[in-house]
Structure formats: C-alpha cells, structure tokens
Amino acid sequence: MSETVKLTLDEIQEMSLTILTKSGFGPDHAQAIADLLTTCQIDDCQSHGLFRLFMCAQTMRTGKVDGNAKPIVAPSDDAVVRVDAQGGMSLLAFDLALPILIEKTRTHGIAAMAINRCFHFSALWPEVESLSAAGLAAMAMVPSHAWVAPAGGTRGSLGTNPLAFSWPRQGKDPFTFDFSTSAVARGEIELYRRAGKPLPDGIALDKNGNPTTDPTAAMDGAMLTFGSYKGSALSIMIELLAGPLIDDLTSLESLEFDGGTASAPYHGEIILAFDPARFSGGRVAENDARAERLFADITEQGARLPSQRRFAARAQNTARGYVEIAKTLHDDLMALKDQA
C-alpha cells in the first residue's frame, strides 16, 4: 500500500494559496482556484484536486494566462449571460456571473452563461452544484485540447470534453454527474504515469495510432472516447455547443494556441440552467416526488447513483477534518511550493 500524508482542510487552502500566489496569480484568482481545489480534494477527486496546481503553475510560467485579469459581464436583457474572462482562469468569471445567471433563470425559466477567452483546468461539478443548491437544474460543457481521437480515428481531434449535470433534491445531496467523454480524464492518465502503473485496455493510442497501456505513450499519442461512436458523437456536440455556438475555440484551435507549452486549455464554456418551478407550472413538490421515486427504484435494486461515493468522501473528510494524499504527490507539491 502506498504511503500517504494527512492534510487538514486549512493546510489544503494554505498550500494552494501559497503556490498560486508565488506562481503569479493575484488574490482574487488565487482564492477562486484554491476554493475549487479544496472542494475537489475534500471529495477525494484526486485528478482535479491539489494535483492541478502543477498545471496552474505551468500555465503561468508560459506567460499565457493573466493572473490578474478582471472578467467583464456584458449587459443583456435576454436569457444569455456573456462573461469575458479576459485571458484569465475561468473560475473567477463564473463566480462573478453566477448571481446574474440565477436571476435570469428565475425570470425566463431557462438561461445560459457563456464564458469566453478563459483558461480551464477544473472539474465542472462544483459549478452545476452551485446552481442546484439554488434549486435549479443545470448542465455545463467545455472543450479542451485535441487529445482525443474520434471513434475510428488515429489522432487527436477532440478534447476530453466533459459534461456535468446536477438536479436539486430537497434535504438531500443533489443528483450530479460530471464525466469526460474520453474514456478517462487526462489527469487520470498522468496519475497512472506518476504511479508507474499501466493503463486499462481501451483507454489510449500511441503516436502511431496503435492501442497502448503505457501512460507515457498515451500522453504522446491520443486518448479514446468512451462508448466508441456514442461517446465520440457526444464529444463533437460539446465541441459545437461550447465552441462555435458561443464564438470560441474548438479543442483543435486550443491546442494550436497552446503551441506546445503544456498550458491549461484555452477556450470557452457554456452553462445551462433550468428552473423546475417555471417548467412544471409550479408543481415542484409533485415532480420532486416523481424524481425521488425514480432514484429510490434505482438504489433499492443495489445500483449506485452518480456522485454517491464522492458525497460519502466529503462527509468523512469534513467530519475528521483532514484528507489523505499520496506521499509522492505531497513531496512534489512541497518542491513546487519551494520553487514557485
């Protein structure tokens, strides 16, 4: 069993803020990123927790991202919230525009946020859960870099292209899922590489288009979508909705913009929000009961709802006041802290 290190929740924040600040992020961006990383780490979402500090620092070192960018929300009278991240990380732009999205959703029944000109590295579930906490259903989509081969292809044309959805539940954790349309997240492959473990079959291709279980070869080659043609089609849909629809980059264009610097992907994001009260004609309680009957039928037969494991980890880690991370990761983070 690999050796682990315990970190209190305050230590997660302190480490994140120190590394981000020393890397060049201003206080607003550093705080928004640190809050996200802490949230993911508490939920034992290892690939999107403290591990992502390396990408944040690398992106800043390349000079690509503006660590002090001030997002701008465009005024509008319709159901679309447009926020220009001004070349900064996406999280501050989302935080700034979130109250406006909630207000517009309650006014129109459905509304959308389009974040443009942002660097993105993070999980989407915290964003959709901030909307379900307000009683709204929500989904979010982003492209990334063109690391993923389409079904039947041999090279990267698509991003990992995650899709997240959250449904509010009265007095219970929301129904939430957040998954990449690639077979695994890019960060998972890096974690396999760091651990010296082979990948499962069906995850990736090498640079010659041949199947591989070598994580290093996979990083130099292409990932695969889940579900073959079905995952590939979903991924293309996300490219269109979070790219050309909102006047922003595709994953191919993001990778070209990167220019081999290994920075976080640069593109846009789309978030859709739905007001159950407006869509159901005010019959929220009756339709909540319908949803709960569905959830009960699923769990009573032994199936697990998405995110149940994550919510359990959150409860455990919050109650005991600390998380555990691999010692190798902690050693690398301490080195990054010293050199940032």
Q: Does the active-site annotation cover 47?
A: yes
Structure tokens at 178: 């957040």
**What does the alpha-carbon distance between residue 308 and residue 328 come to, in Å, rounded to a whole number?**
28
**What does the alpha-carbon distance between residue 257 and residue 201 come to, in Å, rounded to a whole number?**
31
Structure tokens at 257: 């913009």
Tell me which of 188, 190, 239, 269 is the catalytic residue.
188
Buried b (16+ CB within 10 A) or exposed e, 196-224: eeebeeebbbbeeeeebbebebbbebbbb
**What does the alpha-carbon distance between residue 55 and residue 94 come to, in Å, rounded to a whole number?**
19
Per the listing, tokens 């990123």 go with 33
**What does the alpha-carbon distance between residue 2 and residue 326 come to, in Å, rounded to a whole number?**
7
What's the burial of 339, exposed, middle or buried (CB within 10 Å: 0-12/13-18/19+)?
exposed
3-state secondary structure of 135: coil
Tell me which of 23, 29, 48, 180 is the catalytic residue.
48
* Contact predicate 216/198, CB 8 Å: no
Write the single-letter amino acid at 332. D
Structure tokens at 211: 């199947």
**Strand 110-119 relative to strand 80-84: parallel, antiparallel, unpaired?**
parallel
* Contact predicate 164/128, CB 8 Å: yes
Tell me which of 47, 228, 253, 292 is the catalytic residue.
47
Catalytic residue positions, numbered: 47-48, 188
